[in-house]
Amino acid sequence: MADLQAIVARVKNALASGAPAANHAAPRPALLQPDGHCAELMSAFARELEAVGGRTIGPVAPEQLAERVGAVVRERGVKSIAVGEGVLVDLGQVGKTLSESGIDVIVTGRVDGSTRPELRRQLAQVDAGLAEADYAIAATGTLAVLSEETRPSALTLLPPASLVVVRIDRIKADLASALNALGCAALESHRLTLITGPSRTADIEKRIVMGVHGPKSLDVIVVWPRDD
């Protein structure tokens, strides 16, 4: 947490405007890696995600998304799924298609203090959660997800199978680049969840066990619009 706070502080300094004081050297901006080509970033992201037990699917065109999500749902044996509101992608249409195929779909909708406990109970009982990440980080295979009223953080933390959609133009080279893209205002007003692979922990004998404290599987579906 301290490392993340330090990075956020450096990003704030990099974004700050105004001339430096006359007797002081200008602060060094955060060193951001260039984003590079989308396909190269996706390849790096997929490699890192696979190394920590996750899986990357795609790229897929927007009109193919519902079909590909449906294929993953069938493969995982999912009978019920919670769907959050998308960032740039229409996940509502995906949820509708899943419902028409016989999957029990829960749309998170807007929550407040009175409805949040019931939603958490539902999220803890469904087979899977479907959300869209704000950004992906190629260097570590990490997803950055800001919590919203229509996309609570529990959506990616409680269901045993996690399906996350991200647009290919939202894959950034490193954490600093992703935080810079999110901006200070969003980081200060929203909870940020960083997801690197499925949940994994080790027992006293150092044996890795999956899914004890979160999703047992993580499938990331990369969407590449045809006009990009």
Q: What CA–CA distances, in Å, run from 34 to 3, 46, 144, 153?
A: 21, 18, 18, 29
In this predicted structure, what is the pLDDT of residue 31?
41
Share the mean pLDDT of the chain.
82
Length of the chain: 228
CA distance 42 to 39: 5
**Closest listed residue to residue 118, CA positions, set 106, 127, 128:** 106
pTM of the prediction? 0.78
Give the pLDDT band of residue 15 (cuts 50, 70, 90): low
CA distance 116 to 120: 6
Q: Say what angle helices 2-15 and 175-182 make with each other, to 10 degrees.
A: 60
Give the phi and the psi of residue 202 in degrees, each rounded to 5.
-120, 140
| Burial label, 53 (beta-carbon count in 10 A; 0-12, 13-18, 19+) | middle
Specify the CATH number for 35-223; select among 3.40.50.1220, 3.40.190.10, 3.40.50.300, 3.40.50.10420.
Answer: 3.40.50.10420
What are the extents of the domains in the chain?
Answer: 35-223
CA distance 67 to 64: 5
**Lowest-confidence segment of 16-20, 30-34, 152-156 by average pLDDT:** 30-34
**Lowest-confidence segment of 24-28, 195-199, 200-204 by average pLDDT:** 24-28
In this predicted structure, what is the pLDDT of residue 29?
39
